[in-house]
Chain A
């Protein structure tokens, strides 16, 4: 197909604009990454004249000199894993039930769930409930209140609906029990949906800070995001990171390096891993969304 001249110009401009947009997204990330190895503002002052002697891992060394960030890391792994397990199991089981044709009471149950998408008690009543259940300062406060996700249940249900009924019928004729059918036929076929839900749940929990902030007063229990908040937002440098007395300007310089380093430590694992899962993420957006 031949394009007119003006169309070709437009397409070229479009390509250039997309490159610029990509740079706008990429450059801040690159800046953070490089700054974590450099004295503050070296990058700006020297630009492309950087030499190897400018680089140091001082920020990282001091960040890890104190155990807080590692403990936060392990707490986050624990919370994210536990949360993912509970929410995926609950959503898959509920989604399977709701995908059955002719389920008695299906409409009532659906309404029962969907209402909670539009109405909730709000922050304070939920907090009071968690407190009354004695869950403050426990893992359960992070795992249970949000484990129920109507969105996940709908995603799971949509997926199960697409599994042909003939498979189940054939197994039933062979005399398999309902439970065996679910275990031997349905579950092996649901790996993709389990994977998508697990990814969403894990990353969501990994990046969340709010629930931990209100439910976990004990600093020992703080997940990575709360440790980051104290470093990045509240400007608290842990005593273990700064060993010796130093001048104010020096302290300012070091704490800035520590900040950049902490961003890299917290974000790099996900940013490196996500391209491998990209197609699953896209699937998740598509399934159960608008057709």
Chain B
């Protein structure tokens, strides 16, 4: 992402440079257009190559963007998108004033922000710990184990959660040994967020540490040696040498993660939902799915989804500006 943004800027600069000669006297307008046409003719193959990607993007990304106008209409499948009546912001106000709104909105916000705050530092700590292992083989074997859960599907992870936490499962067997009663984890709304976040960390923390491990590989060992001679302790060296190297990576990943705070994944929350834990587990994406695809209330569900997307963009911009301030003007945009 960052690369893409930077390259766009570079291209822009090059673009400017290309434009400069045009300002010279004697330039004939229209010449550039011809030049471009010539280029396209000469390199038609390149445009043929990119055509499938462009066509797919138009169909499956841009047409649904237009389709999102049904959020402002009273969509009926019989009359189609064009033929449906405009209703303005009715669906949005309907959602914002519905009794469910506050609960669902707060659930979404809490689940993803807790996940971010708890989940974000762990891969960094893991990477710093792995970085201290000097024997390449040992390091590789530990990494092999830590990455493994990433390759397990979300359905299987959720299934494991249900099996492990079932009233007769292993965790409850241990609890019964100690206290004498079992605890029904999956039907307790208060336990939902912890279960969701802990299982997420178990699955993803190892994998997320890859990028930090790679960044640490770029640290010049001579820096550490010099610091050792000066008598710096290990913790001080990590603090003053390793962490500054990770800072730019952390900044970008944090912006991206925080920017996605309202775009929390539907998949695991939906799987871990039981009729009992709905008060904590109903989040905007699951709500949109149930309203739209199960109840057929297309317009209202689209409005809820759109509301979510708008909040998300604001968050992204906001977090980006905060991180920029903290990070000496280095942000994503």
Contact = CB atoms under 8 A, between A and B. Distances in A.
Interface string B1-40: 1111001100110010000000000000000000010011
Interface string A73-89: 00000000000000001
Interface in A106-141: 106-107, 109-114, 116-129
Contact of B3 (A112, A154, A214, A256): A154
Interface stretch (B98-106, B113-121, B125-133, B189-197): B125-133
B60 A124 contact: no
Contact of B148 (A178, A229, A274): A274
Contacts of A285: 210-211, 214
B92 interface: no
A94 B153 contact: no
Nearest to B139: A18
B61 A116 contact: yes
Contacts of A1: 225, 228
Contact of A7 (B36, B54, B160, B233): B233
A167 interface: no
Contact of B39 (A7, A98, A102, A233): A102
B320 interface: no
Nearest to A177: B45
B3 A93 contact: no
For the residues of B in contact with A, the DSSP-based class is helix
Nearest to B144: A275
A225 B61 contact: no
Given A40-B168, A225-B153, A126 B60 contact: yes
Nearest to A285: B210
Given A14-B129, A21-B146, A97-B46, A290 B3 contact: yes
B154 interface: yes
Nearest to A44: B173
Interface string A1-40: 1011011001100110110011011101101100000001
A171 interface: no
B145 interface: yes
A271 interface: yes
13 contacts: A21-B126, A25-B148, A28-B202, A93-B49, A104-B39, A117-B1, A125-B70, A148-B56, A148-B60, A231-B159, A232-B163, A266-B153, A282-B210
Interface of A: 1, 3-4, 6-7, 10-11, 14-15, 17-18, 21-22, 24-26, 28-29, 31-32, 40-41, 43-44, 89-91, 93-94, 96-98, 100, 102-107, 109-114, 116-129, 144-148, 153-154, 158, 178-179, 182, 203, 206-210, 214, 225, 228-229, 231-233, 252, 256, 259-260, 262-263, 266-267, 270-271, 274-275, 278, 281-282, 285-286, 288-291
